[in-house]
């Protein structure tokens, strides 16, 4: 009804459209090109058949099982992420969850899953300061929209500790990892076993940068008894450097 009175416009080209991103602009966003590292989802050189782990991942301990991102960084993608984070989350999250749904369908281990009690969707939690200033967590809204599309239950087992720095933007990779480890933990109800999770969790965030945030969150999720798989899905992958295969 409200849509009929106030038609919506595409965030990028400003033409009237259904939703907040028109089909053309959505299709034009540059996707992560193949081949990719089968662990972190980074674009790598060479053939997909021989791609296993990129140089960045080969020395890292595994906490999530695999990560995939829908799009690489582009001017339009950055504009959408900025709007999602700071201004129009409730409008853009359902449109951007289409990208998460697309990468879900392109990932063989996820493509078979639908309406399954063995799978659930969770999200990277926001700090209290972020929630107070903006009133929402963009990762939660993306996760909610994705869970709805896939017919899965949304879980909120993680919390952001106030001791962690609020923004990781200016930190080096090593600093990000140490900071991330101190920043995320299980909520008490999950840590004490009063609440449980399905064995397979898809963890949603907006941007994958060094992976330290999703690694720290996955580590916490795997402390819940029975959790076997944590797959991380993000809308955008920061940095476009093609990783070397090891
Ligand atoms: Zn458009
Ligand atoms: Zn990798």
**Closest-lying ligand to the alpha carbon of 56?**
2
**Rounded to the nearest whole angstrom, what is the distance from the C-alpha of residue 41 to the centroid of ligand 2?**
6
Q: Which ligand is nearest to the CA of 23?
A: 1
Report which bound ligand comes closest to the CA of 16: 1
Separation of alpha carbons 184 and 191, rounded Å: 12
118-154 exposure pattern, b = at least 16 Cβ within 10 A, e = fewer:
ebbbbbbbbbeebeeeeeebbbbbbbbbbbebbebeb
- pTM for the model: 0.90
Phi/psi at 134 (nearest 5 deg)?
-115, -20
Domain parsing of the chain, residue ranges = 28-237
| Helix, strand or coil, per DSSP, at residue 100 | helix
What integer pLDDT is reported at residue 242 of this predicted model? 56
Alpha helices in 87-222 (DSSP H): 89-106, 108-111, 128-134, 138-150, 173-183, 188-191, 212-221
pLDDT recorded at residue 246 = 43
What are the residue ranges in the chain where pLDDT is below 70? 1-6, 47-51, 163-170, 240-246
27 Cα: distance to centroid of ligand 1 (angstroms)? 9
What is residue 45's predicted lDDT score, i.e. its pLDDT? Answer: 82
Tokens 């879900």 belong to residue: 104
**206 Cβ partners below 8 Å, 6+ apart?**
81, 84, 85, 138, 139, 142, 234, 235, 236
* HSE, side-chain direction, 13 A CA sphere, residue 115: 0
What spacing in Å lies between the alpha carbon of 175 and ligand 1's midpoint? 38
User: What's residue 3's pLDDT?
Assistant: 52
Kindly report, residue by residue over 113-155, the tens digit of the pLDDT: 877 899 999 999 998 888 888 888 999 999 999 999 999 999 9
Percent of the chain whose predicted confidence (pLDDT) is above 70 = 89
Query: If we measure between CA atoms, which residue out of 187, 197, 195 comes closest to residue 222?
Result: 197
Residues by chain with Cβ below 5 Å of ion ligand 1: 10, 12-13, 22, 25
């Amino acid at each position: 009804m409200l849509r009929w009175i106030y038609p919506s416009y595409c965030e990028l080209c400003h033409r009237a459209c259904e939703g907040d991103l028109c089909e053309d602009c959505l299709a034009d966003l540059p996707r992560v090109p193949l081949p990719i590292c089968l662990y972190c989802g980074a674009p790598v050189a060479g053939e997909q058949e021989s791609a296993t782990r990129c140089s960045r991942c080969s020395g890292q301990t595994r906490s999530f099982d695999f990560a995939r991102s829908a799009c690489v960084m582009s001017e339009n993608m950055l504009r959408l992420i900025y709007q999602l984070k700071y201004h129009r989350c409730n409008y853009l999250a359902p449109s951007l969850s289409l990208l998460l749904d697309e990468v879900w369908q392109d990932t063989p281990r996820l493509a078979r899953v639908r309406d399954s009690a063995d799978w659930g969707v969770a999200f990277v939690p926001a700090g209290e300061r972020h929630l107070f200033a903006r009133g929402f967590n963009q990762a939660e809204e993306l996760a909610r929209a994705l869970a709805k599309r896939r017919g899965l239950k949304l879980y909120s087992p993680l919390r952001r500790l106030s001791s962690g720095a609020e923004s990781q933007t200016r930190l080096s990779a090593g600093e990000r990892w140490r900071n991330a480890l101190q920043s995320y933990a299980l909520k008490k109800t999950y840590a004490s076993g009063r609440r449980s999770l399905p064995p397979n969790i898809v963890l949603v965030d907006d941007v994958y940068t060094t992976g330290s945030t999703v690694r720290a969150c996955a580590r916490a999720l795997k402390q819940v008894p029975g959790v076997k798989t944590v797959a991380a899905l993000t809308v955008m992958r920061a940095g476009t450097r093609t990783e070397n295969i090891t």
